[in-house]
Amino acid sequence: MSKWVAGFVLMLYSVVVSLAIPLFVRASLKVEDRELRRRRLILAKHLVFLLWLIIPSAALMATSYSHILLIGSPLVLPWAGLAWLLNVCIHAVFEVMQLRSRGVRVRKKSIGMRGLLLELRDQLYYIGLPEEMLFRGIMVGVAMSLIGIHGAIMLSSTLFGLGHLIHERRIARFIETFLTSTIYSIGLIFAGSVWAPAIAHILVNLFFASVSLEPAHS
């Protein structure tokens, strides 16, 4: 199989599964039977692990795009740090806008070390790492050789935003995740590795699992 054909198949695969999982979750949340709804949501987590992490990783390793998985570049950590800082700021701005309060304060959540470790497990299994492997590893790392850098960033950011829009039904959330996705994509392009956005994404989510913004007068 030629590199172009392999890349096209991977890109098409990423588009389909990136929308299929959020649609499945959305449909599951509407199920009235509580036990069936719980089982479907657990299944969704396992499907994300398989379809967004395992299969894309194996496909990258089996093709000429395996360099995306390497972490040897000295630019990985600097770009991860920059992406973390920028996206923390973006999320904070949107949270402040949603609060609609004149004053905002940062509150530390009582998550504890055990809660933080459980959150890290979730980030590695079905949130941050799988999202980066699919939306950045495939949609940017692979697709940019087919549709160009700008086209790949637009594809990744649009579908990443749509996935959150399907789940949360807020236009502001689409814009927020479109912007953060763009930052993660730029991190991958300049670092040359999916681990730059993956590290940043996981750390951003861990940060907001540990702190929250709330009105200053509450």
**Mean pLDDT, all residues of the chain:** 93
| Cα end-to-end distance, the chain, whole Å | 60
Evaluated on CA atoms 209, 211, 212, 218, the torsion sign reads positive
The structure tokens listed for 11 are 């890109």
Domain ranges of the chain: 3-215
- Summarised one tens digit per residue, pLDDT across range 33-85 is 999 999 999 999 999 999 999 999 999 999 889 999 988 789 999 999 999 99
The phi and psi torsions of 52 (rounded to 5 degrees) equal: -100, -20
Q: For 115, how many CA atoms within 13 A lie in the half-sphere containing its CB?
A: 10
Query: How much is the pLDDT for 188?
Result: 96
Q: How far apart (Å, rounded) are the C-alpha atoms in residues 121 and 49?
A: 12
- Summarised one tens digit per residue, pLDDT across range 91-128 is 999 998 888 766 788 888 888 899 999 999 999 999 99
The structure tokens listed for 181 are 């996705």
Query: How much is the pLDDT for 22?
Result: 96
Q: How far apart (Å, rounded) are the C-alpha atoms in residues 10 and 56?
A: 8
- Least confident among 67-71, 158-162, 177-181: 67-71
Query: How much is the pLDDT for 218?
Result: 53
Query: How much is the pLDDT for 1?
Result: 62
pLDDT score of 215 more than 90: no
